[in-house]
Amino acid sequence: MRIIVIIPTYNEVENIGKMLDVLTREEFPKIKDHSMKILVVDDNSPDGTADVVRKEMKINQNVELLLGSKQGLGVAYVRGMKYAMKKMNADAVIELDADFQHDPRDVKRLVAAMDEGYDQVIGSRYIKGGSIPKEWEFYRKFISWGGNLFARVVLLMFTLHDATSGFKLTKVKGFLDHVTLNRLLSKSYAYKIHILYEIVKERSARVKEVPIKFHFRERGSSKIEHEDVFESFKVVILLFFRSRFFKFAIVGLIGFSINAFFLEFFRRFGIFDNLGGSFSYLEGSKLNILSQPSAWSAAAAGEVAIVSNFILNNFWTFASNKFTQPLRILWKFLEFNLTSLGAVFIQFAVIGTAVGMFGDTIIVRQLALVGAVGFLIVPYNYTMYNIFIWKRWKIPGLAWLQR
Ligand SMILES: Nc1nc2c(ncn2[C@@H]2O[C@H](COP(=O)(O)OP(=O)(O)O)[C@@H](O)[C@H]2O)c(=O)[nH]1
Ligand SMILES: [Mg+2]
């Protein structure tokens, strides 16, 4: 594979020469199975960083330089990633700082993890064997740790331990080439959280964390600013509001309101009185539930909610996997109904049983509906959607059903 190590630089004249040297002369020769190249993305550093790179390029085919104006780390990386994909035919990119806080000797470890079959390999400071600089003041450690925890919790990425690491490998095909590089929520450091989120949550990458020691910066100075910390929190929150989880919750809430409304509507206008009545001979028997108009109303209201959920989820929650052809939509809707039959049945059974036990009043019906939806239908539906409809979860053994 062709792997491009992207190194953004701003005033790194004291570091970049040594970094290029270590990577190309010591480390790349150890990585036998891949073609390794470096792309330095410099923002016209006034200290002459680019001159050092140019000098190296004269004697080294593996190094390229991309210049631009300084607009922030995220903008620099986006420019570098596009260039690596379009002009250098990258199969994977590695994000690496120039300042030796990331150890260039760890590059081969990220590549080795990719070779094991992972799409996203993160140099992780917060797993066993990893660390942050002990020289850091308490508040810096706290912000790094707290910001990371916040991102993991809000974005439901618990299984990841370092969501803000600046050292990682990302495969291009199916992953980085699908990231919305032109619409990232940050021009600065927080771009990392956005890209990670899209790769891990939206592209469902196989992720591996490799422990790294994040060293203290010995030469040159950090470019991170206080605003970058606030911006990272902002980006996490904005991503949450776009997340599938949030949309799914909103669709569910709308679906639930529709469900509750139609249950009462059908009941009030006696729509299912006749159907219930036709089973009146079962009253008092074990199948008494069939004679309950409320049970039938609940099942029908469930069906109305299913239609609304299907439409909203297809065109909004799962928009990236949505169906657009009319026939395909119809087919999927039938399939969706089939998987949702369980939910209709749950409503029929729970509401029918509740009114049988506690009396057929609006309170009983609505409380039973809340219970049925909250405890049974939401988990049931979410599982069904992911397995059968939008097929985001691949279940071994069910492949024949998931086509
Ligand atoms: N091209 C470019 N590189 C940047 C910019 N900001 C930071 N960098 C580089 O990104 C890497 C990490 O930045 P650094 O200031 O060390 O961040 P810190 O380690 O979080 O303090 C270094 O190689 C910097 O030179 C920028 O605006 N443009
Ligand atoms: Mg640094």
Q: Specify the CATH number for the domain of residue 90.
A: 3.90.550.10
Q: Which domain holds residue 89?
A: 2-242
Q: How many helices (H) and strands (E) does the chain have?
A: 13, 7
- Per DSSP bridges, beta strands 63-67 and 35-42 are parallel
Q: Whose CA is nearest to atom 24 of ligand 1?
A: 9
Rg (CA), the chain: 28
One domain, residues 27 and 113:
yes
- Per DSSP bridges, beta strands 168-171 and 63-67 are unpaired
End-of-domain residue from the set 208, 242, 276: 242
One domain, residues 131 and 266:
no
One domain, residues 69 and 135:
yes
Q: State how many domains the chain has.
A: 2
Q: Which atom of ligand 1 is nearest to the CA of 41?
A: 1
One domain, residues 181 and 165:
yes
One domain, residues 77 and 51:
yes
- The finding on whether 259 has its CB within 6 A of some atom of ligand 1 is no
- The finding on whether 224 has its CB within 6 A of some atom of ligand 1 is yes
Label residue 56 exposed, middle or buried (CB < 10 Å: 0-12, 13-18, 19+). buried
One domain, residues 47 and 115:
yes
One domain, residues 369 and 301:
yes
For ligand 2, an ion, list residues with CB under 5 A: 97, 99, 101
- The finding on whether 290 has its CB within 6 A of some atom of ligand 1 is no
One domain, residues 190 and 71:
yes
pLDDT tens over the chain, length 403 residues: 999 999 999 999 999 999 999 999 999 999 999 999 999 999 999 999 999 999 999 999 999 999 999 999 999 999 999 999 999 999 999 999 999 999 999 999 999 999 999 999 999 999 999 999 999 999 999 999 999 999 999 998 999 999 999 999 999 999 999 999 999 999 999 999 999 999 999 898 999 999 999 999 999 999 999 899 999 999 999 999 988 889 988 998 999 999 999 999 999 999 999 999 999 999 888 898 999 999 999 999 999 999 998 899 888 888 777 778 889 888 888 888 888 889 999 999 999 999 999 999 999 999 999 999 999 998 888 888 788 777 777 777 777 666 6
pLDDT of residue 402: 64
Sign for the pseudo-dihedral over CA of 174, 177, 179, 180: negative
Give the distance (Å) from ligand 2 centre to CA of residue 51: 21
Q: Which atom of ligand 1 is nearest to the CA of 222?
A: 15
Q: Give the integer Cα–Cα distance in Å for 291 and 313.
A: 34
One domain, residues 203 and 254:
no
- The finding on whether 9 has its CB within 6 A of some atom of ligand 1 is yes
One domain, residues 48 and 197:
yes
- The finding on whether 222 has its CB within 6 A of some atom of ligand 1 is yes
pLDDT of residue 301: 96
Q: Which atom of ligand 1 is nearest to the CA of 97?
A: 23
pLDDT of residue 220: 93
Q: Give the integer Cα–Cα distance in Å for 301 and 285.
A: 25
Find out whether 75 and 187 touch, Cβ atoms under 8 Å: yes
Give the distance (Å) from ligand 2 centre to CA of residue 215: 9
Q: Whose CA is nearest to atom 16 of ligand 1?
A: 222
Ligand nearest to the CA of 229: 1
Give the three-state DSSP class for 146: helix
One domain, residues 200 and 295:
no
Give the distance (Å) from ligand 2 centre to CA of residue 222: 5
pLDDT of residue 72: 96
One domain, residues 52 and 196:
yes
The DSSP string of 331-394 is HHHHHHHHHHHHHHHHHHHHHHHHHHHH-S-HHHHHHHHHHIIIIIIHHHHHHHIIIIIS--S-
Tokens of 252: 């569910």
Give the distance (Å) from ligand 2 centre to CA of residue 217: 6
End-of-domain residue from the set 242, 271, 288: 242
End-of-domain residue from the set 242, 263, 295: 242
Q: Whose CA is nearest to atom 20 of ligand 1?
A: 224
